[in-house]
Amino acid sequence: MANMAQAIRMALHYAEENLGVTDIFGEDVGAPLGGVFTCTQGLKTAWNSPLDERGIIGAAMGIALGGGRPVAEIQFCDYVYNTIDLLKLAGNTCWASNGDWNLPMVVRTPVGSGIRGSIYHSHSFDATMTHIPGWKVVMPSTPLDAYGLLISACKEQNPVMFLEPKALLRVKGDERIPGEPDDDRALSKMIDAPLGDRSQWKPQWPAELEAFAIPIGKGKLLREGTQLTVVSYGRTLPLCARAAQTLADEGISVEVIDLRSLWPYDWEMIKTSVQKTGRVLFVNEDTEVTNFGEHLLRRTVEELFYSLLAPPRLVAGKFVPGIGLADTLEMASVPQQNDITDALRSLAGEQP
Amino acid sequence: MSRPRLIKESSAPLPLDRELLVRIHDLMVKTRVLEERLIQMYKQGHGYFWIGGPGEEAFNVPLGLLMKKGQGPEYDYLHAHYRQSGTLLALGEEPIGALRQMKNTASDPYSGGRNFAGHFSLRKYNVAPVSSPIEVQYSIAPGTAMMQKRVGGDAITIVTGGDAGTAEGDFATCLIWSSRPANPLPVLIIVTNNKWGISTSAEGQHGEPRVSERGKAFNIRSKTINGNDPVEAYNELKEAMEYVRTERKPFLLEANVSRLYGHSSASGANYVSEELDCLKQFETRLEADGVLTRQQMDELRNRYTEDMAAAARIARDEPLPAPETIWKHIFAEDK
């Protein structure tokens, strides 16, 4: 099966061939590198930009205003912060012009910890991004979801922020992307750029790729359960799934929701689950103060209070200025497997 | 490229067709009267804030007249700032739209009562939404120019801002992205230099003798002109536009202009008599050259003043947007 980076690459290839994507660009996005995580290797509309994030977001907005359909990349979300007012502007362009203009544009950026990236390659961006209205925000945790969400993003009439959990970019999926060849090695040979001289290399794209789209705003019920709900996305999602398996072995039934879309998000799915289980844990790795999980928690308390059997809880990153490089520091700063398993076990045992 | 122009001598006849001179003058008067009416509305409590461009008419009107007007990348894009009612009127907009925006009525054609005066948006003529940040348009402009270069033809992107805004990094972004050797872009980069950033004079903040000289480092053809002279502005804009249209390369044009009513209503919006008034100066020349008489010009101004007062009365009585409309147009599906 493809990994997430390959899935993104195939979706972008499909989008530039079939969905009108005109420009895939950013720092080191074009040849020869094709992206620091290889997501844009071999794409025909990929090009390298100056190392200027404001220029990248601005150009994407201009291309969208000019009738194009850009997919811009910010190399690490740690470097997107100097574009915040442009992101706000992109988010308010349709609203401020009373519907006169709209911006069909996608911004992709790798987020989160997990590669020992120290202070400036480990940031999360979901908390900040969900503070900016006018954008759709998605964050896949599997290659298939990455493919399907990117296809949807490339069909959108509005700005879409596509957050890539960098710890999962090289993880192979369990589900086959429609059109993906059966053999992983064959896929790699077809679409992964060779090491060394790439000047003569051309990818061989799988011919059967299709517009497999995952609608923005729909979560995924990854595992059904009856006693507890855990809602997560991105890097922490597989940890939640593993925790659910561990607890299942202990006789505790956990329902796992992969939110996938942060805005809009699948409140119906959360609500149905919490009304069934009465206990919910929200998990993400952005810093915990004014965290998106806090919003979900607040809404749970306000709307589902009488369905609850225990206080809803949040496991998130520590509110510290950065993620330190040392193993001990990173692991103390963002949720790890044990943190999540323990929190779920504790929530399951909580009695009024 | 500069060649001697007779126009520099006050005795020389105006080198544009009489019809065009009259049209420019008409639009300059209309713009000035509109801005004065907007200020009056603010002072009478019919609006919360005024910002605009009285003092920039001599430059902004020719700019609008010279734009290739239409929708989509085959036509010129304008990434404007908030001092450009003259350009919008020259494109053919009716002034009542600006008055409605001042009164933030539901009928405001540019933002539906959501934004300040002078914050135009006009997709049908490729006028991107004007926003209050003074620099962001410089980062966005290269994008539309890329699309124009790709579709072929002679359409260009025009981006305008003030001299104070050039201190922001987006101005450098525009210079860099427009002049990349990999893909030079048809962008006319304009700076209207009024020598002020709100209350701060440029002299104390900017060491560069001319903003236009910043283009040299990027091999961008650049020029500083007298933006208070509509004839010079028209001719220089025409020449710069022709260069950008033909060569598909950027041009940096700095136009020295006046700021006749201060930065905005926040600084009082009172007439600054020390600043050169481009309209007064132009009218003196038109009269001296026999293009228009004083009486004709007075009548024109009176007529526009009456028209604008009537339009303001209409705008004043129109309803505000309904509260539930805050949810409209967050996303384009709502159209």
Measure B294 CA to nearest chain A CA, in Å.
41
From CA A77, how far away is CA B319, in angstroms rounded?
44
Residues of B in contact with A69 (CB under 8 A): none
Measure B95 CA to nearest chain A CA, in Å.
18
Query: Looking at the domain assignment, is residue B8 inside a domain?
Result: no
Measure B328 CA to nearest chain A CA, in Å.
7
Q: Do the chains contact at A64 and B110, CB–CB below 8 Å?
A: no
Task: Give me the CATH code for the A4-191 domain, please.
Answer: 3.40.50.970
Whether residue A36 lies within 8 A of chain B, CB to CB, comes out as: no
From CA B331, how far away is CA B197, in angstroms rounded?
34
Residues of A in contact with B143 (CB under 8 A): 58-66, 68, 70
Pairing of strands A261-263, A136-138: antiparallel
B106 token code pair: 């539901």
User: Which are the contacts of A56, defined by CB distance < 8 A and separation ≥ 6?
Assistant: A25, A26, A27, A49, A72, A73, A74, A83
> According to the model, what pLDDT value does residue B8 have?
47
B192 token code pair: 């209207």
Is B11 a residue whose pLDDT tops 90? no
Query: Looking at the domain assignment, is residue B6 inside a domain?
Result: no
Q: Which residue of A has its CA nearest to B136?
A: A86
Q: Indicate the SS3 state at residue A330.
A: helix
Closest CA to A296 of A320, A274, A317, A318: A274
B202 token code pair: 């440029």
What's the mean pLDDT when you consider all of chain B?
A: 95
Is B3 a residue whose pLDDT tops 90? no
The letter for the amino acid at A160 is V
Is A313 a residue whose pLDDT tops 70? yes
> According to the model, what pLDDT value does residue A351 have?
87
Same fold flag, A4-191 and A220-349 = yes
Query: Looking at the domain assignment, is residue B126 inside a domain?
Result: yes
Residue A28: Cβ-neighbour burial (10 angstroms; 0-12, 13-18, 19+) = middle
Touching A: B residues 301-330, CB under 8 Å:
328-330
Per-residue model confidence as pLDDT tens digits over B170-208: 999 999 999 999 999 999 999 999 999 999 999 999 999
Per-residue model confidence as pLDDT tens digits over B81-95: 999 999 999 999 999
Whether residue A47 lies within 8 A of chain B, CB to CB, comes out as: yes
From CA B104, how far away is CA A29, in angstroms rounded?
44
Residues of A in contact with B178 (CB under 8 A): none
From CA A297, how far away is CA A275, in angstroms rounded?
14
Nearest Cβ partner of B147 from A66, A95, A98? A66
- Strands (DSSP E) contained in B218-302 are 221-226, 251-256
Is B293 a residue whose pLDDT tops 60? yes
Q: Which residue of B has its CA nearest to A54?
A: B139
Q: Do the chains contact at A158 and B131, CB–CB below 8 Å?
A: no
Measure B290 CA to nearest chain A CA, in Å.
44
> According to the model, what pLDDT value does residue B10 have?
53
Q: Indicate the SS3 state at residue A45.
A: coil
Beta bridge partners of A258: A220, A232
What are phi and psi for residue B192, nearest 5 degrees? -90, 115
Q: Rounded to the nearest 10 degrees, what angle do helices A4-18 and A143-155 cross at?
A: 30
Per-residue model confidence as pLDDT tens digits over B70-126: 999 999 999 999 999 999 999 999 999 999 999 999 999 999 999 999 999 999 999
Is B6 a residue whose pLDDT tops 80? no
Closest CA to B194 of B249, B264, B242: B264
Q: What is the mean pLDDT of residues B138-167?
A: 97
Q: Do the chains contact at A101 and B128, CB–CB below 8 Å?
A: yes
Secondary structure letter of residue B130 according to DSSP: P
For the beta carbon of residue A179, count every other beta carbon within 10 angstroms: 15
Q: What is the mean pLDDT of residues A258-268?
A: 98
Measure B158 CA to nearest chain A CA, in Å.
12
Q: Do the chains contact at B177 and A47, CB–CB below 8 Å?
A: no
pLDDT tier for residue A119 given thresholds of 50, 70 and 90: very high
Closest CA to A49 of A83, A16, A25, A67: A25
Task: Give me the CATH code for the A220-349 domain, please.
Answer: 3.40.50.920
Whether residue B144 lies within 8 A of chain A, CB to CB, comes out as: yes
User: Which are the contacts of A160, defined by CB distance < 8 A and separation ≥ 6?
Assistant: A105, A106, A107, A135, A136, A137, A138, A152, A153, A216
User: Which are the contacts of A210, defined by CB distance < 8 A and separation ≥ 6?
Assistant: A14, A178, A179
Q: Indicate the SS3 state at residue B134.
A: coil
Whether residue A84 lies within 8 A of chain B, CB to CB, comes out as: no
Secondary structure letter of residue B14 according to DSSP: P
CA angle B67, B98, A60 (to 5 degrees): 55
pLDDT tier for residue A21 given thresholds of 50, 70 and 90: very high
Q: Do the chains contact at B176 and A52, CB–CB below 8 Å?
A: yes
Is B50 a residue whose pLDDT tops 80? yes
Beta bridge partners of A137: A161, A263
> According to the model, what pLDDT value does residue B15 have?
84
pLDDT tier for residue B335 given thresholds of 50, 70 and 90: very low
Query: Looking at the domain assignment, is residue B4 inside a domain?
Result: no
Q: Do the chains contact at B331 and A54, CB–CB below 8 Å?
A: no
Q: Do the chains contact at B147 and A102, CB–CB below 8 Å?
A: no
Touching A: B residues 156-185, CB under 8 Å:
157, 169-170, 173, 176-177, 180, 182
Residues of A in contact with B123 (CB under 8 A): 97, 100-101
Q: What is the mean pLDDT of residues A90-109?
A: 98
Q: What is the mean pLDDT of residues B42-52?
A: 95
Cβ pairs bridging A and B (under 8 Å): 145
Cα torsion angle, B158, B161, B163, B169, sign: negative
Range of the domain at B290: 16-319
For the beta carbon of residue A282, count every other beta carbon within 10 angstroms: 27
B219: left (phi over 0), alpha (psi -120 to 50) or beta: left
Whether residue A99 lies within 8 A of chain B, CB to CB, comes out as: yes
> According to the model, what pLDDT value does residue A272 have?
98
Q: Do the chains contact at B147 and A68, CB–CB below 8 Å?
A: yes
Buried b (16+ CB within 10 A) or exposed e, B212-237: bebbeebebbbbbbbbbbbbbbbbbb
Q: What is the mean pLDDT of residues A140-148?
A: 98
User: Domain coordinates of chain A in residue numbers?
Assistant: 4-191, 220-349
Beta bridge partners of A345: none
Q: What is the mean pLDDT of residues B32-58?
A: 96
Nearest Cβ partner of B331 from A66, A85, A158? A158
Q: What is the mean pLDDT of residues A316-327?
A: 97
State the virtual CA torsion across A46, A50, A51, A55 in degrees, nearest 10: -90
From CA A255, how far away is CA A278, in angstroms rounded?
11
DSSP-assigned states of every residue in A51-67: S-HHHHHHHHHHHHHTT
The domain that holds B31 is classified in CATH as 3.40.50.970
From CA A150, how far away is CA A138, in angstroms rounded?
9
> According to the model, what pLDDT value does residue B14 have?
74
Say if CB A277 and CB A227 are below 8 A apart: yes
Residues of A in contact with B119 (CB under 8 A): 96
Q: What is the mean pLDDT of residues B6-32?
A: 83
Residues of B in contact with A61 (CB under 8 A): 139-140, 143
Q: Which residue of A has its CA nearest to B75?
A: A66
Residue given tokens 């007064």 in the structure block: B280
pTM of the entire predicted model: 0.96
Residues of B in contact with A49 (CB under 8 A): 177
Whether residue A93 lies within 8 A of chain B, CB to CB, comes out as: yes
Q: Do the chains contact at A96 and B147, CB–CB below 8 Å?
A: no
CA A155 from chain centre, in angstroms, equals: 17
Q: What is the mean pLDDT of residues B246-271?
A: 95
> According to the model, what pLDDT value does residue A214 have?
98
Query: Looking at the domain assignment, is residue B78 inside a domain?
Result: yes
> According to the model, what pLDDT value does residue A74 have?
98
Domains identified in chain B, total number = 1
Is B28 a residue whose pLDDT tops 90? yes
Measure A32 CA to nearest chain B CA, in Å.
15
Measure B49 CA to nearest chain A CA, in Å.
17
Residue given tokens 């607890």 in the structure block: A247
Q: Do the chains contact at B139 and A59, CB–CB below 8 Å?
A: yes
Q: What is the mean pLDDT of residues B294-307?
A: 98
Q: Do the chains contact at B329 and A22, CB–CB below 8 Å?
A: no
Q: Do the chains contact at B147 and A101, CB–CB below 8 Å?
A: no
Is B12 a residue whose pLDDT tops 90? no
Q: What is the mean pLDDT of residues A186-196?
A: 95
User: Which are the contacts of A119, defined by CB distance < 8 A and separation ≥ 6?
Assistant: A321, A322, A323, A324, A325
User: Which are the contacts of A200, defined by CB distance < 8 A and separation ≥ 6?
Assistant: none
What percent of chain B is modeled with pLDDT above 70? 96
What percent of chain B is modeled with pLDDT above 90? 94
A280-287 β-sheet, strand order: A220-223, A254-258, A228-232, A280-287, A313-317
User: Which are the contacts of A172, defined by CB distance < 8 A and separation ≥ 6?
Assistant: A1, A2, A3, A143, A184
- Catalogue the active-site residues of A: 121
Query: Looking at the domain assignment, is residue B256 inside a domain?
Result: yes
pLDDT tier for residue B1 given thresholds of 50, 70 and 90: very low
Residue of B127, B140, B183, B218 best to disrupt the A interface, most CBs of A under 10 A:
B140
From CA B205, how far away is CA B224, in angstroms rounded?
19
DSSP-assigned states of every residue in A99-144: TS-----EEEEEESSSS---TTS----HHHHTTSTT-EEE--SSHH
Secondary structure letter of residue A78 according to DSSP: G
B235 token code pair: 């001719």
What percent of chain A is modeled with pLDDT above 90? 99
